[in-house]
Structures are given as structure tokens and as C-alpha cells.
Structure 1
């Protein structure tokens, strides 16, 4: 099986990138599976939802070619993995814009003129890894952890029918905690397709 790991951070030497690579290494050691890392910053993905995107959302024009390329990458994958730093208690802007543009009407879901909705990503397993500097107590005390899961796990992926398998926050990111977070990411990678493997052998 194949995992597409989408990472959003401008610095390739960041902990975010290291965690993405560690997850990919875990996938590679888990028994014949493969992983591809999509580095949105290095690839220069343009996140701003524009007039062409709006016309495509309204099903008036075809999707822009850069959006089609991203959708094709997801279509080739059995799992989508998002690895990102938490900025202002949410996604970085580039990753949010990637979702805005790529998860389009007619591909991620079908919205009929009468408002009825068909979810189109039921086949897709999703793994979410957010990396934050604040401690877990801060997230729990202010409800940031639940707010993130509400807007991302439910608001985005449940809306499209995708199954969120992993939803992890690696918090208190520091020199002391980095090694543990990297090790956790590798373990998560080795387990990425465990559910599918269990179902196949049942």
C-alpha cells in the first residue's frame, strides 16, 4: 500500500520535516509498503483560492492543472498523512490553502443544487500529526486540542467521508522532546496500514 505524506513547513531541517521522514521510514519498514513526501513549500504550491477555483467549485470550468496534479497524487495513495506545525492553534496557511483548493466539489464530495451531499473519499485513510511548542496541559485547559479535532478530523475529513485513523499532537516540541517525537512518528508509520493488513488476513 502507498502513503502520501503532505508536509507544510518552510524549513527542510525543521522538526516537522524530520517527523515526516521518520513516519515515511516507518511505513517503508512495515512490510512492502511505500511512502511519498509532498513538500508543499519546496514545491511552491500556491494556496490562495482564486477565481479559477471558484469557477471549478461551481462546476462551471475544469479544475486548475495544479489542483488536478494534487488530486491525482491522493488518488494513487491508500493513506493521506498530514504533518504540520500548529500555528495560531490551526494549520499553517499553505496547508489550509491546499485543503481549500484540492478538496474540491466534484472530487472530495458532490454538492447538489438542492444542498444534498455525497461523500466521495470513503476509501481514504487519514493520519494527522500536528506539532506544537506548548505543553499538552495548555491545549487541554483551553480546549485547543478538541477544537483542532473538531475543525480538521470532523469538519474536513468526515465531511468528505475519509476515515481518520491517527490524530496525534506531538506537543512541547523542544530539543529534549524531539527524539521522542521522532520515535513516535516512526512507530505511527509502521502501524499506518496495520488495520488493512488485519482485515486482509481475517
Structure 2
């Protein structure tokens, strides 16, 4: 099985990148393959342009960069997004990647005279957010619930993709970040185990 791990952070030495690397390490434990898409280093343009509007209206084919990202997702059995929490959401770079790549006609079909058709029902999604506040702050203000409503439901459920993991890693009480990296490795090992268990349960 193959995982596409998308990481959105401009600093390759960041904790976000380390978490992505450890997820990849865990995913490869049982012979699975992975690709890490460092969309900051790759220079992906997150700006929603006139070409993207034309694609949304079904007036033009996807641009080359969007088509390439869609092909990467099509090759994957699981999509993993690893990102820092900026202003209680994902970074603009990652949101722009979703805005452009999860396009009408590929992620879903919708028009003025047609009902919504969800086209990513085969895709399993794992979300790993790196937070800068403690859990009490997220709980007190309802931030994590709001993030799940916006991202898990508002984006992926709309396209039919199933969010299998929705994880928030917050700063540990000590300065030792090994707990984050250990958790990331476990997430990677369980990417396809969870998928197989869930499908077996549904088939029973």
C-alpha cells in the first residue's frame, strides 16, 4: 500500500517535518511505500487564479501543477496531511493546495442543475496537526472541535473521503519532543492497519 504524506512548513528542520519523517518511517515498517510531498520546498502556488475558476466552472482542464498533484493522490491508498496550526487552522499554503487540487470534476461533481456527487470515497485521510497551545486552551475555546468541523467535515466529507485519523499534537509538559515522534511513528504504522480493520468490520 502507498501513502502520500503532504507536509506544509517552510523550515525543513521543523518539528512538523520531523513528525512527517517519523510517520513515513512507521508506514514503511510492513513494506508499505510512501512519498513525502514538501509543498513549500516544491514551490506549489496556493493562489486560486482565473485558471482555477475556469476549472471550477468546467470550462477548462486543470493546469499542469494541479493535474500533477491530483495524479499523486490518485496513486495513493492513503493521504496524510502534516501541518502546524496557524491561527487555529491549517497554514494558507496547505489550504491553497486543497483549494486548487480538490477541484470540481475530480474531488466532486457539482453543477447548477445537478446534485453533488462525492468522488473521493476511495480515499482514506489522516490529519496530523502540530499545535502550539495546551489541550486545555483548545478545549476551553472549542478550537479543536471547530478545526474538525472545518477540515474533517467541511473539506473531506464533502468530497466523500474518509478521515481515519484526526490527531492534534500539543506541546509536552517537558521539553522532550520524543513523545511526538513516537506518536508519529505509531500513526505511520497504523495507517493501513486501521484501514484494513475498518473495511473488515464494514464487510462483516
TM tier, smaller: over 0.9
Matched, 1:163 2:162: yes
TM-score normalised to the size of structure 2? 0.94
The answer for the alignment partner of 1:2 in structure 2 is 2
Q: Deviations over 1:14-61 (max 9, x none)?
A: 0000000000000001x1211110001100000000000000110001
Q: Which moved more, 1:160-169 or 1:108-117?
A: 108-117
Relative to structure 1, the CA distance from residue 131 to residue 159 in structure 2 (aligned partners, 3 Å threshold; closer, same or farther) is same
- Matched residue of 2:35: which SS? strand
The answer for the alignment partner of 1:148 in structure 2 is 147
- Matched residue of 2:129: which SS? strand
Relative to structure 1, the CA distance from residue 197 to residue 42 in structure 2 (aligned partners, 3 Å threshold; closer, same or farther) is same
The answer for the alignment partner of 2:123 in structure 1 is 124
In 2, Cα distance between equivalents of 1:11 and 1:194:
31
Alignment root-mean-square deviation, CA: 1.6
The answer for the alignment partner of 1:27 in structure 2 is 27
| Runs (5+) with no aligned partner, structure 1 | none
| Runs (5+) with no aligned partner, structure 2 | none
Relative to structure 1, the CA distance from residue 128 to residue 110 in structure 2 (aligned partners, 3 Å threshold; closer, same or farther) is same
- Superposition misfits of 4+ residues, deviation over 6 angstroms: none
Aligned length: 201
TM-score normalised to the size of structure 1? 0.95
Shift of 1:197: 3.5
Contact in 2 for aligned 1:135/1:171 (Cα 8 Å): yes
Contact in 2 for aligned 1:123/1:162 (Cα 8 Å): yes
The answer for the alignment partner of 1:98 in structure 2 is 97
In 2, Cα distance between equivalents of 1:23 and 1:90:
21
Relative to structure 1, the CA distance from residue 173 to residue 59 in structure 2 (aligned partners, 3 Å threshold; closer, same or farther) is farther
